[in-house]
Amino acid sequence: MTRENPTLTARPPAFAHRHLLGIEGLTPPEILTLLDLAEEAVDISRQVEKKKAVLRGRTQINLFFEASTRTQSSFELAGKRLGADVMNMSVGSSSVKKGETLIDTAMTLNAMNPDILVVRHHAAGAVHLLAQKVGCSVINAGDGAHEHPTQALLDALTIRRHKGGFGELVVAICGDILHSRVARSNILLLNALGAQVRCVGPSTLLPKALDRLGVEIFTDMKSGLRDADIVMMLRLQRERMDGSFVPSVREYFHFFGLDQEKLAFAKPDALVMHPGPMNRGVEIDSAVADGAQSLIREQVEMGVAVRMAVLEALSAHLPNRPGAA
CB-nearer residue toward another protein: 158 or 186: 186
Question: How big is the site for another protein, counted in residues (CB under 8 A)?
Answer: 24
Least separation in angstroms between CB 313 and another protein: 22
175 to 214, contacts with another protein by CB under 8 A?
181, 184, 207-210, 212-213
Site for another protein (CB under 8 A): which residue of 28, 92, 125, 165?
Answer: 125
Q: Which neighbouring-strand residues pair with 60?
A: 86, 116
Site for another protein (CB under 8 A): which residue of 32, 77, 89, 124?
Answer: 124
Least separation in angstroms between CB 271 and another protein: 26
Report the 3 state secondary structure along the chain. CCCCCHHHHCCCCCCCCCCECCCCCCCHHHHHHHHHHHHHHHHHHCCCCCCCCCCCCCEEEEEECCCCCHHHHHHHHHHHHCCCEEEEEECCCHHHHCCCCHHHHHHHHHCCCCCEEEEEECCCCHHHHHHHHCCCEEEEEEECCCECHHHHHHHHHHHHHHHCCCCCCEEEEECCCCCCHHHHHHHHHHHHCCCEEEEECCHHHCCCCHHHHCCEEECCHHHHHCCCCEEEECCCCHHHCCCCCCCCHHHHHHHHCECHHHHCCCCCCCEEECCCCCCECCCECHHHHCCCCECHHHHHHHHHHHHHHHHHHHHCCCCCCCCCC
For residues 199 and 234, the answer to whether their CB atoms sit within 8 Å is no
Q: Is 123 in the site for another protein (CB under 8 A)?
A: yes
77 to 106, contacts with another protein by CB under 8 A?
101-103
Least separation in angstroms between CB 116 and another protein: 21
Q: What's the CA gap between 190 and 154, in Å, rounded?
A: 12
| Candidates 27-35, 117-125, 167-175, 312-320; binding stretch for another protein (CB under 8 A) | 117-125
CB-nearer residue toward another protein: 237 or 260: 237
Least separation in angstroms between CB 97 and another protein: 12
Per-residue contact flags (x/-) with another protein for residues 42 to 61, judged by CB under 8 A: --------------------
Least separation in angstroms between CB 186 and another protein: 13
CB-nearer residue toward another protein: 22 or 303: 22
Least separation in angstroms between CB 125 and another protein: 3
Site for another protein (CB under 8 A): which residue of 121, 160, 198, 274?
Answer: 121
Least separation in angstroms between CB 181 and another protein: 6
Picking from 170, 157, 185, 191, the residue whose alpha carbon sits closest to that of residue 33 is: 157
Least separation in angstroms between CB 273 and another protein: 21
136 to 165, contacts with another protein by CB under 8 A?
143-147
- Using CB under 8 A, list all residues that contact another protein: 24, 101-103, 121, 123-126, 128-129, 143-147, 181, 184, 207-210, 212-213
